[in-house]
Structure 1
Amino acid sequence: MITAARAPAAALVGTRKPRRRVDGWLWVALPGAVFLAVFFGYPLATVLLRSLTDPSPANYEVFAHSPAYLKILLQTFQISALVTIGCLVLGYPYAYLMAKAGGVWQSVLFAIVLLPIWTSFLVRSVAMQVWLQDTGVLNKVLMALGLTDGPVPLIRNTFGVTIGMTQILLPYLILPLYSVMRRVDPALVRAAASLGASPKRAFLRAYVPQTLPGVYSGGLLVFVLSLGFFIVPAILGGTEGSMIAKAIVDLVGKSQFGIASTLAVTLLAATFLILAIGSRFVRIRDVVGGGTP
């Protein structure tokens, strides 16, 4: 009886998987961890400490009671939301076309998305300035067609910053969407059509819900990246199109390091809050490329 009772337990012990040794991987990861601690953790801790000690924690009270700082924080979120919506409106049909195209055309569409990523943000922002300024290409075309009597203010405002950031961040929404759309089973749309659904209804009810993970991950990535933009607001934005990163740089230039650190910590906290909310809809590992297929 004792032997029979112990047999299943012995069998379970025999089939237990051996524990992986991670000591070797810890040593491999150590240089990267030290690098992050020195060049990321230490500066971040310094900024946090400076926001509390230069001259005092009253920096946060100054920020909370300053209409100008609160306005620029709200404006940062507003522009980031507009950029995310613009990227979604432009990126969804493009990603759909990429997923449906085949052969050479898919490679061409993919190259069009990748080539801007390999170009400097500064170069692309200056090029956009040439297009949007009062004597730029777009205004000349509008006046030549008789649509306007004079130059339209397309720059030094929220519109110019939104357009400039959208053209830079658009690939970061297209690529996650394309990755998800490739895995959508086309038989779902055909099945919906065979059950009597119109092409539009089949697309909206059978296809679009399957691509929502790509929408969430791409939208979250674009929104978070937008929060910290500096180059585009500095080149294409004026007072109306300013964002919090530009305000931080301006304060540092005036040697107001305490309040600049306060704005930086506030922006970081807001980013973590957005990521915490976004994690309810999408896995953060998928956003940064760490998800398993």
Structure 2
Amino acid sequence: MSTVETAAAPSTAAAPKRKYFAIDGWGALVVPLVIFLVVVFLVPLVAMLVKSFTDPEPGFGNYVAVFAEPLYMKVIMNTFYVALLVTLVTLLLAYPYAYLMTLVPPLWRNIMMVIMLIPFWTSVLVRSFALIVLLRDTGVINTMLTDIGAIDEPITMLRTFSGVVFGMVQVSLPFAVLPMYATMSGIDNRLGLAAQNLGARPSGAFWRIFVPLSVPGVAAGLLLTFIQALGYYITPALLGGPQNTMIGELIVQQVSAVLRYGFAAALATMLLVLTLVLLGVAGKFLNLEKALMRRS
């Protein structure tokens, strides 16, 4: 009996406690990053949220003021309208470009990829000033059209709604093309060929097979475009006018000119909450990690 009890003793020994949070040698590498994010992101975020409810006095006054003033509601509606239009135009330009990248030889594909990545290597401010040189009354486009006799007077493109959309689409294109191409490059081309062998036309095989399979990448690209467009500041400020004010410009005006820090914090909080809601809704229907990180 004692022998049996002795043999069974190790099996009845207390199991080691499960560690729900532990940092091993490699896990310690993430600690500096977490501290950095807490200091430069989380702490200011909490401070902004608190200020939106306490400045100039405690309560929901700043949020009530957003909806009580027609001018502010007009800015919010204009922001959504511009963001939706920019997203639509970006889709019309990015989808054919990404699809063409899957058809061309590797050399041309690399060239097209470099062209698309060039904006990432250039400051948004520099690109916006370049667009001013391009779109102004004495800019490249108007000068060229005047020289060839196409127009007699310069076409006003700067400080207009179309100028804002043009500039924002130029900035947004890479963020839409890259996830679209990441998804399209993983689609087996033999599926389309099989559909054509079964009697489908090339256009029918494209719309009924390729397009549905590319939807995750398209949705991810459009989501990135729309969320970014909601918070744009530099491009609308430089290319647009007072009638095209967006919420990012309004926040800066409230901070730098009017000194209404609590109201600006309320606007920024609303924008943040809206972004998180969009991401949450999209996450319910899309595998964003797969769409954004997929490799060919």
Q: 2:249 pairs with 246, 253, 258, which one?
A: 246
Structure-to-structure mapping, 1:20-31, within 5 angstroms: 23-24=23-24, 26-31=27-32
Question: Aligned residue for 1:33?
Answer: 34
CA deviation vs aligned residue, 1:71-110 (integer Å, no higher than 9, x gap): 1111111111111111111111111111111231111111
Deviates more, 1:153-162 or 1:65-74: 153-162
TM-score normalized by structure 2?
A: 0.86
Identify which range, 132-141 or 108-117, moves more after superposition.
132-141
Rounded Cα–Cα distance in structure 2 between residues aligned with 1:234 and 1:268: 20
* 2:69 is equivalent to residue 66 of structure 1: yes
- CA offsets 1:144-195 (integer angstroms, 9 cap, x no match): 4554442222121221111101111101111111111111111111111112
Q: Distance in 1 between matches of 2:290 and 2:248?
A: 26
2:110 corresponds to: 107
Which residue of the other structure, out of 174, 179, 188, is the alignment partner of 1:176? Answer: 179
Partner of 2:232: 229
What's the CA shift string for 1:89-146, capped at 9, x where partnerless?
Answer: 1111111111111231111111111112101111111111111112222223334455
Hey, what's the Cα distance between the residues in 1 that align with 2:292 and 2:40? 20
Q: 2:267 aligns with which of 258, 263, 270?
A: 263
RMSD of the TM alignment (CA)? 2.2
Q: Which moved more, 1:40-49 or 1:275-284?
A: 275-284
Which amino acid is the alignment partner of residue 281 of structure 2?
I
Q: Which runs of 5 or more structure 1 residues have no equivalent in the other structure?
A: 1-17
* Cα pair 1:142 1:148 within 8 Å, conserved: yes
Tell whether the 8 Å contact from 1:63 to 1:70 is kept in structure 2 after alignment: yes
1-structure distance, mates of 2:122, 2:163: 20
Quote the offset at 1:284 in angstroms. 3.7
The AA in structure 1 aligned to 2:125 is L
Q: 1:213 aligns with which of 211, 216, 223?
A: 216
1:45 aligned residue: 46
- In structure 2, C-alpha distance between the alignment counterparts of 1:101 and 1:287, rounded to whole Å: 22
Instruction: Report the TM-score when normalising by structure 1.
Output: 0.87
CA contact (8 A) 1:76 1:244 kept: yes
Question: For the residues of structure 1 that align with 2:113 and 2:71, how far apart are their CA atoms?
Answer: 42
Structure 2 unmatched runs, 5+: 1-17
Could you tell me whether the CA contact under 8 Å between 1:216 and 1:281 is conserved in 2? no
Amino acid at match of 1:172: F
